[in-house]
Structure 1
């Protein structure tokens, strides 16, 4: 699983008060509203925080982000959770450009490792460490995740704590979608939910480890209302309703 491709060269663009990260192509790898750097500007990055519908982070917990992008998830998580956050980024140039242009915060709770995420999740040191794992691994071509094997997702599963959740950014209309879903289902024993595909084509997968979470419709909606009030900019009630409509059940078991 050694990564051999050349490092992508990060580039910038700006429009309407928003700064975008690219890898030398038109594909957007991340974005930041310049006047509100901690905001999750792209809708799919908001959905990457959907694990908050089911788990409440504490200062004893750790989060992991695989793929720094423009640093949106890291900035948001540092502002809105008390957790220690480990970020894995393959390309040191991405970290440098985030520090220079995307207000990447220096924080004692944040640690960035430059490594192949596929190797990192298989390191025994990561086993059982993380409450939530947010996975967004794309190169300049943005043609499906660069890490998508069953072995990779099994490593993600092992990296989670006894009770943990992984969110993954996929492209619903891309040919890579089906085999990613199959590998995630195998690694997470079928405990998978999907949020609806976004206009941009992104579709977020939520995968669960640990004891089964059983929530009545009202419990899930109440929790979603709490998340929506507490965590700035997250349309959690809409997420909860979308998940419930897919199942058409009075109780959501995941």
Structure 2
């Protein structure tokens, strides 16, 4: 999810790899005309298809000519989990949206199995419009509440969690809670990675980082920001009591910043 924030049309910032003039007054008026309560809807403009709940926020974006391409920079950055685990067996994705991360992982990680949790049936109903592969032995898209589902999951059963769960009102308070992040940590394998999209909402960032530091330790969580936008991401690695790989984890965090044009917000330095 990437937002336009509360700015006039002329002050709208460029948050994505969409055309620089994508959020023109003309397009905004067309998008407004499609708003129907809090129902998700699609807006097409040339080669770009976007997912919205309203005219203020782009939930997902896809190029019709290259549906597996990661268009929005924060989704590109979230694939940085591959620096920590280049060959995951089981990936848990929380929040389907337009399926950008799902399609990328499905195409580029043929040995990985994915479980996708989406609480909004109307979002799932649009999966074909975003060319998301059908369910098979490698992919399951489930209409489930993520917090309830994780409570029933076995410990140490997931290699990577990609947390990108937003609705018409933004980030779910439940998905930022200590209890939920504790369940995320519990289901991760040792050395497993949790990658969280925190968007650009200060309350979400504060909540996720505060809880994450308690659960994963300050040395094993990083707060990153895209250089060319206001998207914020946190990466946390489960290490338990084993700190023997701290140096390697620091190197991987630095590599993630360099590879995906990210600024390191926390910790300020990695030494």
Q: Deviation string for 1:190-222 (max 9, x for gaps)?
A: 32112124544220100010244344699659x
Match of residue 122 from structure 1: 151
In the aligned structure 2, how far is the partner of 1:80 from the partner of 1:239?
18
Written as runs of structure 1 = structure 2, the 5 A alignment for 1:201-220 is: 201-210=230-239, 211-212=242-243, 213-215=245-247, 220=252
State the SS of the aligned residue for 1:112.
strand
Residue of structure 1 aligned with 2:259, choices 238, 246, 251: 238
What runs of 5+ residues in structure 2 fail to find an aligned partner?
Answer: 1-36
Residue of structure 1 aligned with 2:104, choices 76, 79, 96: 76
Q: Tell me whether 30-39 or 206-215 shows the greater mean CA deviation.
A: 206-215
What runs of 5+ residues in structure 1 fail to find an aligned partner?
Answer: 1-6, 225-234, 250-254
CA-CA distance at 1:75 after TM superposition: 0.3
Residue of structure 2 aligned with 1:97, choices 126, 150, 166: 126
Q: Is the 8 A contact 1:21 1:30 kept in 2?
A: yes
Number of aligned pairs?
Answer: 228
In the aligned structure 2, how far is the partner of 1:12 from the partner of 1:41?
16
State the TM-score, normalized to the length of structure 2.
0.75
* 1:161/1:73 CA distance change after superposition, 3 Å: same
* 1:217/1:154 CA distance change after superposition, 3 Å: closer
CA-CA distance at 1:143 after TM superposition: 5.5
CA-CA distance at 1:137 after TM superposition: 1.2
* 1:146/1:16 CA distance change after superposition, 3 Å: farther
Match of residue 33 from structure 2: none
Residue of structure 1 aligned with 2:80, choices 38, 50, 73: 50
* 1:145/1:77 CA distance change after superposition, 3 Å: farther
Task: Name the Cα RMSD after superposition.
Answer: 2.9
Q: Deviation string for 1:25-46 (max 9, x for gaps)?
A: 4311111111111111110111
Work out whether 1:38 is the aligned partner of 2:68: yes
State the TM-score, normalized to the length of structure 1.
0.79
In the aligned structure 1, how far is the partner of 2:143 from the partner of 2:38?
14
Work out whether 1:247 is the aligned partner of 2:265: no
Match of residue 91 from structure 2: 63
Q: Is the 8 A contact 1:143 1:174 kept in 2?
A: no
Q: Is the 8 A contact 1:63 1:83 kept in 2?
A: yes
* 1:206/1:36 CA distance change after superposition, 3 Å: same
State the SS of the aligned residue for 1:167.
strand
In the aligned structure 1, how far is the partner of 2:178 from the partner of 2:249?
32
Q: Tell me whether 114-123 or 152-161 shows the greater mean CA deviation.
A: 114-123
